[in-house]
Amino acid sequence: MVRTVSASRRQHPYHHGNLASALVSAGLDIAAEGGPEALSLREAARRAGVSPTAAYRHFENRDALVMAVKVAVLAQLGAALRAATRSRLPSGLEDSEQGRRRLISIGRAYVEFAIANPGQYRVIFAEATFPSGRLLGDDGEPSGESPYGILGEVLDQMVAAGALEPERREGAEVPMWALVHGLSSLILEGPYKRLPRREQADLVRSALELVISGLQGGGLPH
């Protein structure tokens, strides 16, 4: 199960160093506990052990803090997907099968991250704003890879391995992202919430296999 890195920092007041990072870390903890609705500069400042005035020197308003927390969560999600691309596969698999399994792995990692971190995951899609694909700030923090970029990389590898026809590659990120986001929402807030964890995992795996089969031309409409 994926865990975020911020939990170990909870309630650690800021003393020296980068206050902006301390405020984002506090924001991650707040989001983990109460979702995006709970995020506020005043509460982040309190947890960091500084005054609200000090917080406003780094973040103009609540929206700026939400965006910074959003970028940090996306970086953590990207790290989870990157780890999934490096997972060990059975030996002897053809390159095309390796690519298909990598795609299934990152799809499962996405949903597992959402289930493990529901409050922080919801921040990604809060406020109807979305950061650009670059997840490295001007000051170098927070750094990370774009989950969307990692998905595109795996799809490109599938084309190179002959697992995905080039003409089916364009726009393939959309159905994959729609699928994992939809599954995450159905499990977190919808009818699949009460299913046993094993049944949820089986549902995710079968849905991924079905959509990937369609992308590869396995009988579903292009």
Q: Give the per-residue pLDDT at 135.
A: 55
What is the pLDDT, as a whole number, of residue 88?
83
For the chain, percent helix, then strand, then coil, each to nearest 5?
A: 65, 0, 35
- Show the CA angle centred on residue 77, arms to residues 76 and 79, nearest 5°: 65
What pLDDT does residue 94 have?
83
pLDDT for the residue 143: 56
pLDDT score for 140: 44
pLDDT at 115: 97
Write the CA distances from 139 to 7, 23, 202, integer angstroms.
23, 15, 42
Q: Where in the chain are the domains?
A: 7-215
Q: What is the mean pLDDT of each run of 10 residues along the chain (222 residues)?
A: 45 64 96 96 94 91 93 94 89 81 96 97 86 53 76 94 93 94 96 96 96 81 41
7-215: CATH number: 1.10.357.10
The pLDDT value given to residue 130: 74
User: pLDDT tens for residues 14-35?
Assistant: 554 689 999 999 999 999 999 9
